[in-house]
Structure 1
Amino acid sequence: MSALAYISEYGSNSDDSDSEFDNIGCMRTKLPTPNLSKVAVVPVYEHQDDPQLHDGRIRSFPHVRGNWATFVFIQYLESDALHDLLDKLQEKILSVVESCQKCNDFHISLSMTVVLKYHLISSFRTSLQSSFNNIKSFDLGFAAVKVYCNEENSRTFISLDVDPFTHKFLKVISKKVDQAFEEYQLPTFYEDPSFHMSVLWVKGNKKTELNNIIESLNEILFQETENSLKNIFVETISCKVGNKYFQYTLT
């Protein structure tokens, strides 16, 4: 029998075997099917935001890995005088609404909250530093109580608007911040910003109820600024990028 015949005969009986011939007639062994039952499967990460964990707050844009929420602001240091003011405002507010909470931190925004890619953080910091060169330190004070509501109507904020002298300085600084944002094609701040510090909040849209007592709230602010709540001296500007904080010193 020829060699071809032997191969042909073997091939006809190999359907149930664990081996097969390659295209040049050499026998090769079939690899067993791998058992993947014990291999860990890594799920695709998907962030689920729960407003109940954040006092009803809703993200203005969805969380995406690699995107860092970023904004520039002035940090206002807490004091006994500030908390005395808030206690008195809170007492008055509770006469027209069921609940009123103090904000977790006190700051004045100098930019929109925007999305910054991780790989741009370092150069963005450098751009901000250049923007603040030759900006002088200044006094910050408040002139009025204002009421604001977020776009979702889920929370109403009681805020302290800065005085005209402070507003002039903040307008200059926010324009410098805008220039840095434009380099990275990020949204700039409002054309005519209202610089304020949110200090208290209530659930839902309660603007009508709170504006009905706005004169009383402003009277409380006036009395406290006359007695104990003094202007503060601003020497630094802050920037929050995700969970990172950066600070820039003014001249």
Structure 2
Amino acid sequence: MFSDPDREHLDDVSKHGGRVRSFRHERGNWASFVYVAFHPREEFLEMLEELESVARKHGVVLTKMEDFHISLSQTVVLRHHWINPFVQALRDRLCSVRRFLCVADQLKVYVNNEKTRTFLGLEVVTGQQQLQEVVSEVDKSLQEFNLETFYQNPSFHVSLFWCVGEVTNSLLGDCLLELQKVVDEFEDSDVLTRFYADEISCKCGNKVMSIPLC
């Protein structure tokens, strides 16, 4: 199972907190996506607890993401025998990319394509150009396998929470302002919301392959 919000296959929603998957699982097919992992400090998780509490006061119950990352592709289906060639194509294209700084400190509300889940995330404000350059190379690798490329003009972000359904209106306005205030005023937030992208990861099923940047 993936924490990536955009594409998930159809199955028993009761096993996934009410989330709806959008493509059916088939033997030999592996749901896969490319991303930059974000490994938060303990203090970052404390900040998330405060955000969750504020949202609850506004009537929104949020569920914390199981892991944190910046997506660099949509979730696509790879045949088993495509996995190694696809990852090698990524390695070849990314071998000369240098590590870079990302700062993600602006809260933003997102909804998946099917409008079945709403997300609260931190948008990247520093590192967007470098992420777009990486996406360009990832897209080329996807095209080699006739797979769908990433979104046009993406909003790079780290998803923090999700909830079932389309609840954008409940999170916007005063709620979002109060949530952003938590981030802005949290001790050492300027440190907690910045990290270096020093490797690109590709997750296929439950297997993660990492590509170090130079």
Same fold (TM over 0.5): yes
- Deviation string 1:18-67 (CA, Å, 9 cap, x unpaired) is xxxxxxxxxxxxxxxxxxxxxxxxxxxxx982111111122221101111
Residue identity opposite 1:151 in structure 2: N
Do the aligned partners of 2:60 and 2:170 also contact (CA within 8 Å) in 1? no
Q: Paired residue for 1:79?
A: 41
TM-score (norm 2): 0.89
Distance 1:130 1:247 in 2: 13
DSSP-derived class of the 1:151 partner: coil
Mapped pair 1:175 → 2:155? no
Do the aligned partners of 2:37 and 2:200 also contact (CA within 8 Å) in 1? yes
1:200 counterpart (158, 161, 179) = 161
Mapped pair 1:188 → 2:153? no
Q: Paired residue for 1:147?
A: 109
2:21 counterpart (43, 59, 62) = 59
CA positional deviation for 1:169: 1.1
Distance 2:31 2:122 in 1: 24
Higher RCO, 1 vs 2 (CA within 8 Å, ≥6 residues apart): 2
Mapped pair 1:110 → 2:72? yes
Do the aligned partners of 1:81 and 1:228 also contact (CA within 8 Å) in 2? no
Residue identity opposite 2:79 in structure 1: K
Q: Paired residue for 1:8?
A: none
CA-atom RMSD in angstroms: 1.7
CA positional deviation for 1:219: 1.8
Mapped pair 1:232 → 2:191? no
Greater Cα shift, 92-101 or 205-214: 92-101
Percent of aligned pairs with the same residue?
A: 35
- Deviation string 1:63-121 (CA, Å, 9 cap, x unpaired) is 01111111100111131121122111111100122522111111110001111111111
Do the aligned partners of 2:122 and 2:159 also contact (CA within 8 Å) in 1? yes
Structural mapping, 1:88-103, within 5 Å: 88-103=50-65
CA positional deviation for 1:217: 1.5
- Deviation string 1:126-152 (CA, Å, 9 cap, x unpaired) is 101011111000111113101112233
Structural mapping, 1:126-145, within 5 Å: 126-145=88-107
DSSP-derived class of the 2:110 partner: strand
Residue identity opposite 2:27 in structure 1: R
CA positional deviation for 1:196: 0.7
Q: Paired residue for 2:4?
A: none
Residue identity opposite 2:112 in structure 1: N
Count of equivalent residues? 204
Unaligned runs of 5+ in 2: 1-8
DSSP-derived class of the 1:94 partner: helix
- Deviation string 1:135-189 (CA, Å, 9 cap, x unpaired) is 00011111310111223333211111011x3111101101110011111111110
